């Protein structure tokens, strides 16, 4: 740790739409996320953010909702993510339980999952394989999230974490491009470059930004 959801015509098995109505069979697939889940996720973010502020422990909003708080136009579809120190997990989860937020302990040991207002919340202790630190949270910026002010991961840290999380199994540059364009002047790009050295997908994305003239081209690029 981060966290930026209609009915569709179903093709036949040969890939072409069916011209005749098919017999109905039970649909056991997970329902598709609505096209725009933004407001529902923002409401859950505000609710949980208010509890975390009251708990008095350091935290920061991360993921897609953090990008939204920084002014990036994104549709929120999945969940909202908060980074906190591992040693504060017990206190924070108890505070959430007291406010009626359901806590779910996943098999992973780097986060706790919760549900608020029907939305999923991730409380993350490790971002891109690196432990959340007090220094990282201290660099967070307090920003309004749909009227509630809360700490939001700083742009440089947000971009760095997103790039380090890329892998051969998950490498979607699409959501990162508008973030890079929108936060271009607020990101310390040299710091990002130094941090992602040796991370092939992160380095490839920075090179792509040069080809798109989002970043100045380095000598020899």
Residue corresponding to tokens 């490790």: 126
CA-atom Rg of the chain in angstroms: 20
Reference 57, options 86, 82, 90, 92; nearest CA is 92
What is the pTM for the complete model shown? 0.79
Mean pLDDT over 44-52 rounds to 92
Residue with tokens 């394989």: 129
* 73 has a pLDDT exceeding 60: yes
Q: Given pLDDT bands bounded at 50, 70 and 90, which one contains residue 30?
A: very low
- Which tokens is 27 given? 């649909």
pLDDT band at 40 (very low <50, low <70, confident <90, very high): confident
Read off the pLDDT of residues 109-165 as tens digits, 9 standing for 90 and up: 888 999 887 888 999 999 988 999 999 999 999 999 988 999 999 999 999 999 999
The whole-number average pLDDT for the span 57-69 is: 93
**Bigger pLDDT: 36 vs 59:** 59
């Amino acid at each position: 740790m981060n966290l930026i959801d209609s009915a569709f015509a179903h093709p036949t098995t040969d890939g072409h739409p069916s011209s005749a109505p098919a017999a109905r069979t039970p649909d056991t697939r997970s329902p598709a996320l609505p096209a725009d889940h933004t407001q529902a996720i923002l409401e859950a973010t505000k609710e949980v953010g208010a509890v975390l502020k009251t708990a008095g422990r350091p935290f920061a909003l991360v993921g897609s909702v953090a990008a939204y708080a920084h002014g990036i136009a994104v549709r929120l579809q999945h969940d909202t993510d908060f980074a906190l120190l591992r040693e504060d997990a017990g206190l924070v989860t108890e505070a959430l339980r007291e406010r009626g937020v359901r806590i779910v302990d996943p098999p992973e040991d780097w986060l706790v999952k919760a549900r608020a207002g029907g939305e999923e919340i991730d409380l993350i202790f490790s971002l891109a394989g690196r432990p959340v630190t007090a220094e990282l949270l201290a660099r967070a910026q307090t920003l309004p999230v749909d009227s509630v002010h809360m700490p939001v991961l700083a742009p440089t840290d947000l971009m760095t974490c997103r790039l380090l999380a890329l892998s051969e199994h998950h490498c979607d540059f699409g959501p990162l491009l508008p973030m890079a364009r929108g936060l271009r002047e607020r990101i310390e790009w040299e710091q990002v470059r130094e941090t992602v050295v040796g991370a092939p997908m992160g380095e490839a994305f920075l090179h792509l930004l040069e080809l798109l003239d989002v970043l100045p081209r380095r000598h020899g690029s």
